[in-house]
């Protein structure tokens, strides 16, 4: 056999090996239809989770505040004003959780004490107390708060809807509890509850 023939056989063998290698690679990296579908579904779910987390409506902007040593929050969309509560006028004959009334920019607004409503420890008022004014289509009132902690954003999906140590009236107005144990109140439910209405004559 000539050198040319030997060279031709040698290159033919190399091409054959490369072809076999291509087949093995295709077999090893191309999944069957079921595996491919499962992988695509998993990837789609991952992308959907990322997309959902980035959606504006998957987050809540809340005002956080302290009340009797606990941290509470309410959706900022329901709050029109936060102001120091320097004085108020008691309103006789009202329910225990109604602290009184206050003049807010020319409007008479009732002041509700969540400490009484939620049966929390009650301390005296100081010049550091604040009033968070909530307003809805048919109702407006102020919530007495101890200290403003700031505006935060929290993920709706991260809220725990049912909490073992929260019961009674607090659970009725509960939107959820965060991983940091902030109690997020449902502002719409508070504003829609007739029991929160104070008739001022």
CA dist., res. 116 & res. 118, Å (int)? 6
Q: Which residue has the higher pLDDT, 140 or 56?
A: 140
Q: Is the pLDDT of residue 126 over 80?
A: no
CA dist., res. 92 & res. 90, Å (int)? 6
Please return the burial class of 176, using the count of CB atoms within 10 Å of its CB with bins 0-12, 13-18 and 19+.
buried
Tens of pLDDT, residue by residue over 106-122, are 999 999 998 888 888 87
For residues 97 and 122, is the Cβ–Cβ distance under 8 A?
Answer: no
Tens of pLDDT, residue by residue over 66-122, are 998 889 999 999 999 999 998 899 988 888 889 999 999 899 999 999 888 888 887
CA 194 to chain centre: 26
Tell me, what's the pLDDT at 51?
47
Tens of pLDDT, residue by residue over 43-64, are 666 656 554 455 657 899 999 9
pTM above 0.85, yes or no: no
CATH class of the domain at 57-196: mainly beta
Q: Is the pLDDT of residue 192 over 70?
A: yes
- Residue ranges per structural domain of the chain: 3-56, 57-196
CA dist., res. 77 & res. 143, Å (int)? 15
Average pLDDT over residues 26-54: 60
């Amino acid at each position: 056999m000539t050198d040319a023939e030997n060279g031709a056989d040698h290159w033919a063998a190399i091409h054959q090996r490369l072809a076999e290698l291509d087949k093995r690679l295709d077999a090893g990296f191309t999944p069957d239809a079921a595996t491919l579908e499962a992988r695509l579904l998993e990837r789609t779910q991952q992308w959907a989770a990322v997309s959902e987390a980035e959606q504006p409506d998957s987050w809540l902007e809340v005002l956080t505040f302290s009340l009797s040593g606990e941290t509470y929050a309410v959706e900022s969309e329901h709050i029109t004003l936060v102001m120091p509560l320097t004085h108020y006028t008691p309103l006789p004959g009202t329910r225990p959780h109604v602290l009184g009334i206050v003049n807010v920019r020319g409007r008479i607004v009732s002041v509700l004490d969540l400490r009484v409503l939620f049966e929390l420890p009650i301390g005296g008022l100081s010049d550091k107390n604040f009033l968070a004014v909530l307003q809805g289509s048919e109702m407006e009132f102020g919530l007495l708060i101890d200290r403003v902690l700031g505006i935060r954003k929290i993920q709706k999906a991260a809220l725990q809807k049912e909490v073992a140590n929260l019961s009674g009236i607090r659970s009725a107005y509960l939107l959820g509890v965060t991983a940091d144990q902030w109690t997020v109140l449902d502002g719409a439910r508070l504003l829609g509850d007739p029991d929160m209405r104070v008739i001022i004559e």
